[in-house]
């Protein structure tokens, strides 16, 4: 055999063996690739489905809040037909949601079913713990409830009378987890959905050959490993649990992802691989026969172009000088370069899109690797830290946010155990103001990637509102106690005043019956009265009477102030309101700050013949009392610097307005403080002393309720003046 034939045979055998190995590993690679792609798609689809599933629960809560605040619902609680008509007009807003209005006796007065199924009735309300609530409960509840063999989303919202702020009933929104619900999820995620209550199927989107809904055995479906075949289609199965409002598992949601198209694509690619490699094998044989120097140049050109592409230059183009295999390879190479260039642009667009999504979120989002170094940085993180992404990426998270230093162990635990970690109400001080943050750590679960995403939300406002609610409840209890004590004090006080009046009447010589009784005992009533006056007994009795009347006035003012205001406008005497408020304020004494109204000079400068103006007396009294207490607080902080503490109240007319001025000679406020003094939750007091709501509520009462204006004038070291202008005629 000639050497040329040996070389040719060797090349053919080498090419054949190489092709067989290449075919084997390529097919194996394609199979693994498509299998992993299918599993990753299933995982993403399951996560998307779970997000959509619980998204309906959040949407139900928001719709419940909206409907419960409709004024026609509260005003027509005893007119079911009116409410039903109003709700039926919102059919698109309440699609597939059953609406029930329940009165304070837990009776369903309105029942609008927008779904084909409804599991909530008066028996359910009686026996299911989720629906048990008190008549005065103002809390909203949203959760998942198991009712027999059925499951539904439920939102309960109190219905308040917008005029009296009294609860008149509850609004219950019910979204049954039936096949109609599963169809809505399928239309969003494009996958077949099965919902099981324990082991019983309650919803499905799968149809058999007759168009009937298919309920496979739950154990068989959820125990399936790998692929599951329905009819002629192949599916991958994913499952997540349904937990009720108590955290108890009550069912499962099964996601069936159709992988038939992926399998068909894989089979097509395998055939393409076989075709390509057989073509290459034949090409190698031809090349082996026609091997020569003329082949080296185009191969070097291809190698050079491939090197350029590997460096990111996708604009390279090979000139096609022939129509043979080398020319075809050059054409395919050019097509590949164009495809890679397009894919690179698409990838850049996707990266920009994802970055915009992350930057648009109001939360601080930070990506970290297993060593705690920053890998991702959104706009909120940039605002909070003052560092742009280029400066932050690669740095230790604790170097940028020192408050995270104590949480590093939880970060590592979340990454290693692949479990989310949540830290609530983490305090930090920013510009002498205490802020609170909730921190959530989400571990990355992609294969081969170790790290986590940190989400930080500013919950300062929520915490302050919670504190305010606690304080409000406390003050309501104290107010009730004070009112009760005032009532109890009135009884013995009345007895004392009655006794003193009777003593003065029975020793007075002005009454004939007293003289007759004295003569019966041979006594001179005039001498007895002179003796009582000489010994100042009459004076002491009159002092007791005046003191008792003063105490009675104080109790009356306290009872009037503690009564709930109904915001009814009546023509009232502002001077009388101010004087009553001062009388009430003079009985306030703060043991902690050691201040006392009685040690402060109160100056009244009222315009004579000031007309009565329309106002809500109790609410206006609340505003003035708040200004007086703030003035005394300021003066108490200025203790020792000024020996003559004084508060001046003025009342006068200015055009079509009545003007009230409350001025103190305390330490005053700087310009920045006066700008923010009416902001909610802004306070210059120490933590725990003030809520920052007094002046904001006062401003609301004056501007929104009375249609007036309220502003402040203050100079550091020279005191503060609050000015209130109220219209003389009701607007």
- C-alpha to C-alpha distance for 22 and 637, rounded to whole angstroms: 87
Fold for domain 361-458? Beta-Lactamase (3.30.450)
Residues 6 or more apart whose Cβ sits within 8 Å of residue 640: none
> 99 pairs with which residues across the strands?
112, 173
Q: What angle do CA 524, 529, 534 make, to 5 degrees?
A: 125
- C-alpha to C-alpha distance for 395 and 288, rounded to whole angstroms: 56
For 684, what's the count of Cα atoms within 13 Å in the CB-facing half-sphere?
Answer: 16
Say whether domain 564-727 belongs to CATH 3.30.565.10: yes
DSSP class of residue 564?
P
- C-alpha to C-alpha distance for 498 and 121, rounded to whole angstroms: 60
Neighbours of 168 (CB within 10 A): 19
| Burial category of 728 from C-beta neighbours within 10 Å (exposed 0-12, middle 13-18, buried 19 and up) | middle
Query: How is the beta sheet containing 233-243 ordered, strand by strand?
Result: 200-204, 192-197, 249-258, 233-243, 227-230
| Burial category of 18 from C-beta neighbours within 10 Å (exposed 0-12, middle 13-18, buried 19 and up) | middle
Do residues 603 and 626 make contact, with C-beta atoms less than 8 angstroms apart? no
Query: Please, which contacts does 286-291 make with residues 24 or more away whose CB atoms are closer than 8 Å?
Result: 286/325, 287/325, 288/7, 288/8, 288/11, 288/12, 288/15, 289/8
- C-alpha to C-alpha distance for 124 and 657, rounded to whole angstroms: 58
Q: What is the predicted pLDDT for the residue at 2?
A: 46
Q: What is the predicted pLDDT for the residue at 651?
A: 94
DSSP class of residue 197?
E
In the block, tokens 């149809």 appear at 207
Q: What is the predicted pLDDT for the residue at 174?
A: 92
Q: Between the CA of residue 388 and those of 379, 396, 578, 600, what are the distances in Å?
A: 8, 15, 56, 55
- Per DSSP, which regions of 387-532 are E strands? 421-430, 433-443, 451-458
Query: If we measure between CA atoms, which residue out of 195, 175, 67 comes closest to residue 120?
Result: 175
Under the phi-then-psi rule, with left for phi > 0, alpha for psi from -120 to 50, and beta for the rest, what region is 150?
Answer: beta
DSSP class of residue 635?
H
* pTM of this prediction exceeds 0.85: no
Do residues 370 and 450 make contact, with C-beta atoms less than 8 angstroms apart? yes
Query: How is the beta sheet containing 167-176 ordered, strand by strand?
Result: 108-112, 98-102, 167-176, 150-160, 141-147
R_g (Cα) of the chain, nearest Å: 42
- The tokens of 668 are what? 């005053």
Pairing of β 657-664 and β 98-102 = unpaired
Pairing of β 646-654 and β 601-606 = parallel
Query: If we measure between CA atoms, which residue out of 201, 224, 221, 223 comes closest to residue 213?
Result: 201
> 142 pairs with which residues across the strands?
155
**64 sits in which H/E element:** helix 3-68
DSSP class of residue 225?
-
Q: How many residues comprise the chain?
A: 731
Three-state SS at 74: helix
In the block, tokens 């959040």 appear at 58
Three-state SS at 602: strand
Residues 6 or more apart whose Cβ sits within 8 Å of residue 155: 60, 61, 63, 64, 140, 141, 142, 171, 172, 173
- C-alpha to C-alpha distance for 367 and 374, rounded to whole angstroms: 6
Q: What is the predicted pLDDT for the residue at 292?
A: 47
DSSP class of residue 192?
E
- The tokens of 531 are what? 């003796």
Q: What is the predicted pLDDT for the residue at 476?
A: 54
Do residues 649 and 662 make contact, with C-beta atoms less than 8 angstroms apart? yes
DSSP class of residue 711?
E
Q: Sign of the CA dihedral 52, 32, 206, 221?
A: negative
Q: What is the predicted pLDDT for the residue at 70?
A: 77
DSSP-based helix, strand, coil % in the chain, nearest 5: 50, 25, 25
What is the mean pLDDT, run by run of 10 residues, along the chain of 731 residues? 55 72 74 81 89 90 83 74 75 81 86 86 84 76 89 90 81 90 88 86 84 73 67 83 89 87 75 75 69 57 72 70 69 78 82 76 82 83 79 82 76 80 76 76 73 82 66 54 65 80 83 84 85 84 76 62 59 89 69 59 89 86 86 75 80 92 88 77 57 72 87 88 90 67
Fold for domain 69-176? Beta-Lactamase (3.30.450)
**166 sits in which H/E element:** none
- C-alpha to C-alpha distance for 41 and 46, rounded to whole angstroms: 8
**18 sits in which H/E element:** helix 3-68
**376 sits in which H/E element:** strand 374-377
Query: If we measure between CA atoms, which residue out of 164, 171, 163, 168 comes closest to residue 140?
Result: 171
């Amino acid at each position: 055999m000639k050497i040329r034939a040996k070389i040719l045979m060797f090349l053919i055998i080498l090419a054949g063996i190489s092709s067989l190995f290449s075919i084997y590993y390529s097919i194996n690679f394609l199979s693994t690739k498509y299998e992993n792609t299918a599993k990753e798609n299933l995982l993403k689809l399951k996560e998307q489905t779970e997000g959509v599933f619980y998204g309906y629960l959040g949407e139900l809560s928001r719709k419940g809040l909206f409907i419960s605040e409709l004024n026609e619902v509260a005003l027509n609680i005893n007119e079911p037909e009116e409410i039903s008509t109003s709700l039926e007009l919102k059919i698109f807003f309440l699609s597939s949601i059953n609406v029930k209005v329940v009165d304070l006796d837990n009776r369903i007065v309105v029942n609008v079913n927008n779904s084909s199924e409804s599991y909530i009735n008066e028996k359910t309300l009686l026996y299911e713990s989720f629906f048990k609530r008190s008549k005065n409960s103002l809390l909203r509840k949203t959760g998942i409830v198991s009712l027999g063999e059925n499951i539904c989303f439920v939102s309960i919202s109190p219905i308040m009378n917008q005029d009296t702020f009294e609860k008149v009933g509850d609004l219950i929104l019910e979204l049954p987890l039936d096949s109609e619900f599963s169809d809505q999820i399928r239309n969003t995620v494009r996958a077949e959905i099965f919902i099981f209550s324990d082991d019983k199927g309650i919803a499905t989107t799968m149809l058999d050959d007759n168009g009937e809904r298919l309920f496979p055995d739950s154990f068989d479906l959820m125990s399936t490993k790998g692929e599951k075949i329905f009819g002629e289609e192949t599916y991958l199965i994913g499952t997540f649990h349904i937990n009720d409002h108590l955290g108890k598992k009550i069912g499962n949601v099964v996601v069936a992802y159709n992988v038939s198209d992926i399998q068909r694509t894989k089979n097509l690619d395998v055939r393409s691989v076989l075709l390509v490699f057989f073509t290459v094998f034949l090409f190698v044989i031809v090349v082996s026969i026609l091997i020569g120097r003329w082949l080296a140049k185009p191969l070097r050109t291809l190698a050079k172009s491939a090197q350029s592409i590997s460096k990111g230059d996708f604009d390279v183009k090979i000139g096609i000088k022939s129509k043979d295999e080398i020319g075809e390879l050059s054409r395919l190479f050019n097509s590949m370069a164009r495809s890679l260039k397009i894919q690179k642009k698409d990838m850049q667009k996707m990266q920009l899109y994802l970055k915009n999504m992350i930057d648009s979120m109001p939360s601080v989002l930070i990506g970290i690797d297993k060593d705690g170094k920053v890998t991702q940085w959104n706009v909120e993180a940039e605002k909070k830290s003052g560092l742009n992404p280029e400066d932050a990426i690669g740095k230790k998270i604790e170097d940028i946010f020192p408050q995270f230093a104590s949480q590093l162990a939880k970060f590592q635990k979340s990454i290693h155990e692949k479990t989310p970690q949540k830290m609530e109400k983490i305090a930090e001080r920013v510009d002498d103001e205490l802020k609170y943050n909730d921190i959530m750590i989400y571990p990355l679960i992609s294969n081969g990637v170790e790290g986590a995403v940190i989400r930080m939300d500013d919950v300062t406002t929520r915490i302050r509102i919670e504190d305010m609610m606690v304080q409000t409840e406390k003050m309501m209890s104290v107010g009730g106690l004070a009112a009760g004590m005032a009532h109890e004090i009135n009884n013995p006080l009345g007895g004392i005043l009655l006794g003193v009046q009777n003593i003065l009447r029975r020793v007075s010589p002005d009454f004939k019956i007293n003289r007759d009784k004295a003569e019966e005992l041979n006594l001179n009533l005039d001498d007895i009265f002179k003796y009582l006056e000489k010994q100042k007994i009459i004076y002491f009795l009159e002092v007791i009477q005046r003191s008792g009347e003063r105490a009675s006035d104080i109790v009356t003012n306290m009872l009037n102030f503690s009564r709930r205001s109904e915001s009814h406008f009546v023509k009232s005497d502002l001077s009388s309101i101010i004087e009553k408020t001062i009388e009430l304020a003079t009985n306030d004494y703060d043991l902690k700050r050691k201040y006392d109204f009685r040690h402060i000079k109160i100056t009244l400068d009222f315009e004579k013949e000031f007309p009565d103006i329309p106002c809500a007396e109790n609410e206006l009294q609340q505003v003035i009392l708040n200004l007086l207490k703030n003035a005394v607080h300021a003066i108490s902080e200025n203790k020792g610097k000024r020996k003559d503490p004084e508060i001046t109240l003025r009342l006068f007319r200015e055009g079509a307005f009545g003007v009230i001025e409350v001025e103190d000679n305390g330490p005053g406020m700087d310009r920045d403080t006066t700008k923010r003094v009416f902001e909610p939750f802004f306070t210059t007091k120490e933590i725990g002393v003030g809520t920052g709501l007094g002046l904001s509520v006062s401003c609301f009462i004056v501007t929104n309720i009375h249609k007036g204006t309220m502003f402040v004038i203050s100079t550091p070291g020279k005191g503060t003046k609050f000015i209130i202008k109220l219209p003389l005629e009701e607007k």
